[in-house]
Amino acid sequence: MKKLLSVFAGLIIAFSLTQSVEAKTVQVSALEEFSTANPPAVLHVQMNANTRLDYDVMLFQGYQVTGKIVAQNGGFAFIPVSYINFQEEQIPLKKEFPAVYRGGQGIVRQNQPFFLSFPDNGPDTFQYYVPSSSDING
């Protein structure tokens, strides 16, 4: 009975360790054609959904993101280096948020959607303090 209990506890611990690294998988669209077997050094994508990378960085749907490509375990990672916001300002990113390519092998055509898995660096929603009139007048 003790062996069965220890095996069960070991399985629970192993399962919890494999689930501890979460990711946010987000759909993006390629802004130029590329090959997954030989991706370019720099890739441009458009966000198809809002994605919070951390407390300070939010990539909104429609933002154009430039990233460098790093080979990784037979695939590649996309590391955003800057984005263009709705005012057409190019904003550099100070932190690295490596996203793993998730999609089929072959050629990804211009405007074709595919998925990137960003690391989960916290919740997508934050609560902000909004001052009331008593805070301002009091």
pLDDT beyond 60 at 28: yes
Task: Evaluate if pTM is beyond 0.75.
Answer: no
Distances (CA, A) of 128 to 55, 63, 131: 11, 24, 10
Percent of the chain with pLDDT over 70: 71
In whole angstroms, what is the distance from residue 66 CA to residue 79 CA? Answer: 8
How many beta carbons lie within 10 A of that of residue 31, not counting itself?
A: 15
Q: CATH 1.10.4080.10: does it fit domain 22-123?
A: no
**Residue 32: pLDDT over 90:** yes
Q: What is the pLDDT of residues 120-134, one digit of tens each?
A: 765 555 555 556 666
Count of C-beta atoms within a 10 Å radius of residue 72: 12
At 134, which helix (H) or strand (E)? helix 133-137
Rounded mean pLDDT, 91-105: 92
pLDDT of residue 17: 39
